[in-house]
Amino acid sequence: MVNNILSLQYPVFIGKSKLLIGTKLLPVMSWFSIDAVDGALQRTKKTLFEPFSFWKWLKLGIIVLLLGGSGGGGGNYGNPGQQYGGGDPGWEPGLQGIEETVTQFLNQYSMFILLGVLFFVVLILLFSYISNVMEFVFVHSLVTGVVAFWAYTRKYLRQGFNLFIIRFGLGLVFLMLFIGAMLPVILPILDSVDNIDNLNVGMFLGGIFFFLGVLFILAIIDGIIQSFINLSIPLAMYKDIGIIAAFKNVLGAFKADWGQIIVYWLMRLVLRIVVGIVVGIIALILFILVFGTIFLLGAGLYLLLTSVAGLGTEDAMFWLVMVPLGLVVFILMIVFSLLVSIPVPMFMKYHMLTFLQAWYPESEIPFLDNGTPEQSPD
């Protein structure tokens, strides 16, 4: 009787789970981004500790370092009341002198300045290209469980270049959008700056808030696009298609099942905070244990050299002992930084890959969870 009732049902499956209530088999929503947490944890643990390999950690740390990031800064313009109040008769000639000095310097060293700017632009573009290649190297290292830095780098040079061009083009588009959005605000402020007495403080503050709002909106849009690009990278790798074609596939899947992606974005935000805090606490404890011990050893050695051996900072033997110790500590700091930088990006990347495998089965990600990992081609 029960079998007959169940056979008459019409379950519409969302996700993979089902719930039996009374005599009806009802679907239960399965959020792949939540389900992917356990799989990401298991894969992270397996790659890092089963078995533990210092060189694997170190190579992964170098890859994560080359994935990179950048930041910027601002300026300080002093106190306006002191700058412009009181009509100091010596202020204007002083400003003219500074302007003449700067102009003379620019005219004299313009070629060196242009070459320096060109060098830094080329350097930034080069590191950006390397970073995009490392996106593929990192994914393939985690999928296979084998970190073959040079072999994977050679393998994904072309795809990394294509990704670099796409992201570079997107960067230019966002830059033009930002400039276009800010021009109506910047131009009136610049006009008022020409006559400082007519500077509209309210307009200036409004421009700052508008600037921050535009940055916030563009950052959200860019974050969404970059999320789709990151999901497209494994598709391009393992389905042997271009990034743009993979992006279209991901976008099509999003249109058909956008709820999963919304929950995925929210889950990623929560995971970054939680995992970052947990790993940060563990890293801090390890740092205190390791370098606290080294500090005590160094302090003991210093006291031994100064109090027992009677050496001082003017003695060459003192520096022959302390300088190598300082170099060892410096190298250990670099290695420690590389090692502790791995778990968070690794877990987050595994979470993305595990989610993609469940949400988009056609991705065909060849995880080597079972059996013997492939041999390193390096």
Indicate whether this model's pTM tops 0.85.
Answer: no
The answer to whether residues 334 and 65 touch, using CB atoms and an 8 Å cutoff, is no
The answer to whether residues 246 and 232 touch, using CB atoms and an 8 Å cutoff, is yes
**What local confidence, expressed as pLDDT, does residue 72 receive?**
36
Question: What tens digit of pLDDT does each residue of 141-186 get?
Answer: 999 988 889 999 999 999 999 999 999 999 999 999 999 888 887 7
Place of tokens 């900072």: 313
What gap in Å lies between CA 215 and CA 174, rounded to an integer? Answer: 10
Question: What tens digit of pLDDT does each residue of 53-78 get?
Answer: 889 998 999 999 999 743 333 333 33
Higher pLDDT, 194 or 123: 123
- Backbone angles phi and psi of 21, in degrees to 5: -120, 115
Question: What tens digit of pLDDT does each residue of 285-325 get?
Answer: 999 998 888 889 888 888 888 887 777 777 788 888 888 88
The answer to whether residues 350 and 40 touch, using CB atoms and an 8 Å cutoff, is yes
Query: How long is the chain?
Result: 378
Place of tokens 């700067």: 102
Which helix (H) or strand (E) covers residue 20, if one does? strand 17-21
Q: How confident is the model at residue 188 (pLDDT cuts 50, 70, 90)?
A: confident
What is the DSSP code string of 290-330? HHHHHHHHHHHHHHIIIIIS---TT-HHHHHHHHHHHHHHH
